Amino acid sequence: MNTFSKLMFIGMAWLLLQSALASADECLLAGTWKSNEEKTLQNMKAVQLTEKQRKLFSNGFFGKLVIDYTCKGFTSTYEDMVETYQFISMKESGRVVTTEYYEPSQKKNLLYTIEIIEGCYSLPIGKLGFNEVFCRVK
């Protein structure tokens, strides 16, 4: 291989590496998202809950969970409890993001599909019938 060919090969390899590194930090979820108490409580109004459940959730339960995403995983922080997860996969299509990760407490992979609308997305709260809303804070 002559010198020019070697330089072209090195240049192309460098460009591919830079492109891969740049895209590793550029995804729709990358950043910090926080539970939005007001929007979540609006969702909760539409479902039937016991008075005890409604009272529990209405008194500052929501709005404390913060999730810091990278394109490879996320860290969730709720008061003093911090948990970190790595994505098994993440796919994006327009405003829709599908993630899969292993949840040790349930001993299984969890698959979530969310749609980001006006800087927020929502996730179902177990079997309670309403979604918790998360909005980007940075």
Using pLDDT thresholds of 50, 70 and 90, give the confidence band for residue 27: very high
- Contact of 99 with 112, CB cutoff 8 Å: yes
Phi then psi dihedrals of residue 100, to 5 deg: -135, 135
Which of the following CATH numbers is that of domain 28-136: 1.10.287, 2.40.128, 3.40.50, 3.80.10?
Answer: 2.40.128
The conformation of residue 62, written as its DSSP 8-state character, comes to: S
Q: What is the dihedral of CA 65, 74, 99, 63, to 10 degrees?
A: 10
- Whether 87 and 99 have beta carbons less than 8 Å apart is answered as yes
Q: Where would I find the H helices in the chain?
A: 3-24, 37-45, 51-58
Residues 113/98, Cβ–Cβ less than 8 Å: yes
List Cβ neighbours of 57 (8 Å cut-off, separation of 6 or more).
41, 44, 49
pTM: 0.78
Calculate the average pLDDT of the chain.
Answer: 85
Report pLDDT digits (tens) over 62-82: 999 999 999 999 999 999 999
Domain boundaries, the chain: 28-136
pLDDT at residue 16 greater than cutoff 60: no
Nearest of 98, 64, 70 to residue 86 by alpha carbon: 70
Backbone angles phi, psi at 22, to 5 degrees: -65, -45
